[in-house]
Structure 1
C-alpha cells in the first residue's frame, strides 16, 4: 500500500486527544500518525510527548487555523496520501484500507471521505459531511444524509462509492500531489469552508472528489467553535462569499453575490427573531470583510472554461418552501455527468 500519513490538527483539544487518539493508533497500524499543534495552551504538546512518544509532534508558533495549520504541517510531511483528521473523531477497524484502495483505482480521484456518523447519535449521519457534500448554484452546501439541520438515519442507503462536489475536512483523504499542485488550502479562510474551496479548485483542474461508504468514522462536531458561535457565523458567511467569487464563472459571479446579499439579509432576520444579535452583526461584518478583499481576489482570478457540477436548483427553496427535508426527495436536476440523487 502507498505511504499514508494521518495528520491531526490540534488546538486546545487535549480532552479529545485523550479520548480519541487511542482509537486512531489502534486502527492505523503501519501508518504514521502526526499531530500538528496550533499553539495550544492546554498542555496538549507536553501530554503527547509524555503519553504518546510514538506520535510525531509538529508544533506551530501561532494558531493558523485549519487552513493555515494544515498548509504549514503538510509542507513538512512526506507521503502519497494525507488523512486530515479532526481530533474529535473516533475511527473504526479497517477505516483506512477501503478509501485508499478506492483512491488507487484512478489517479484523477484527488479526494475521498468515509461515511461520517454522529458520535452522540451513532445511528444517524453527522452534520459536517454525512455521506458526501454537494453545492447548489447559490453556494449553499448540503450532503447526502443531511439537509440543513435534518439528519438521516443510516440504513445502508449510502453504502456505495459516489462522486460528490466536496468532502468534509473532519476526515479528508487527499492525494498529496494534487493537494500541493493547487497550493493547498486558502489560508485566508482560517477555518470553515476551506475544504469546499479546495475541492472546487480540484474539480476545476479535472480531478474527482468522491465518497466511500465502506469506511465509517464517528464525529463529535463543534469541538473548536460551537455551532452558535458568532465567530463561526462570520467565518461561514465571509468564506462562502470568497469561495463563490474565486470559483464561479465570470458570467455568474456578481449575479450570485447579489442574490446572496438578499438571502443573507433574510438569514439575518431569522437571527433577529431569536434575539441572536451577535450573529446578525457577524453577517454584516462578513459582507464588508469580503467586499474589502475583492481587489485582492480579483488579481488572482484565472480564466477557466470548466464549470464544476453545481446543483441547479435552490436547496434553500426546496427545503424551506417545498418541504424537501431528505436528500432523496430533492428534484434530480444535476448537470450532465454529475451523479443524480438516489431514488427513495
Structure 2
C-alpha cells in the first residue's frame, strides 16, 4: 500500500509517499480501506519530533482519524462486516491507503455525510466531547469560551455547545475568522490580534473555558471564570509552565483540568465512541451540527496540507483524499 511517512524530523517537506506492507487486523480489529484522512495539529507536532506514537502504532506514519470501508475483519469482530462505511479515531497511521482500527472504536458515518466530511469528525468530536462535556461538564444554559474558535476543534466545540443549549463565545486571529465563528453560533468572537479578550469578555463570566494556548492566557482565563468554573486544557502552544493563585482557586471552587486522547486505551475510546454515537451523531444527521471542511488535498500532497495547517489561515478542517474512487 502507499503511505505518507515522516522521513526525518523537520518541515512539511520531510513527508514522503512510500510503499509499505499492508497491515493485518488482529483480534477485534478491522482493516479499513481509507477514503480520506483528517489532518490535525498533533500530526504537525509528530512530524517535528515532539509527539511520538504510542507503543504498537506505526511510528513514522501520521494520521489520527480516517473514514473508509471495512476491507476485512479480524477474529472476534461481530459489529462490522466488509463493505461497511465507517470513521474512526486511531493512534496513528492514517495517512495511508489501509489502516487497522479497533472494531469497538469505529463509528458508522452519519447519514448524509461524505467520506471527506466524516474523516474530519473523530479526532475533533472525541476531543470536544470528552473535554468540554465530560471533563468540563458543560450543561444547557451555561457559558463556554472557546479559544481558537475556527480550528477544527473550535468549530466543533462552538456548534455542539450551541446545539445543546449553551451560550458560546470565542477568540480567533482575524475579523474574517471571527465572523465565521459567529456564523456558527458564537455570540461574540474576539480578534485577539486587535483586542485583549479579557477586556472584551470580562462582563460575561464563564462556566467552562476550552484552551489550547496556555502560557500567558492562564491568568486571564482564571479571572474570566465564574464560581465553580472549569478551565480545560487540550494543548499549551504558548507554554505549559504557568503561575496559579491557589487561594483564588479554593475561594471560588474552580477546576483546572485537561487531557490527551492518543495514549488512552481502546476500552476508554470505545466507551467514548458509544456515548458520541448516542448523543452527538443525531446532531450531525439532523444537520444541527455540520463538519466544516476548509480544503482537501490528495494523499501525495500531504506536505502542502501541513504547510497550510502551520499557516493557520484555515477555518475548519483540512483533509487528505486517499481513495478518490470512494470520495467522488
Give the TM-score, by structure 2 length: 0.28
Q: Which has the higher strand share?
A: 2
Q: Which has the higher helix share?
A: 1
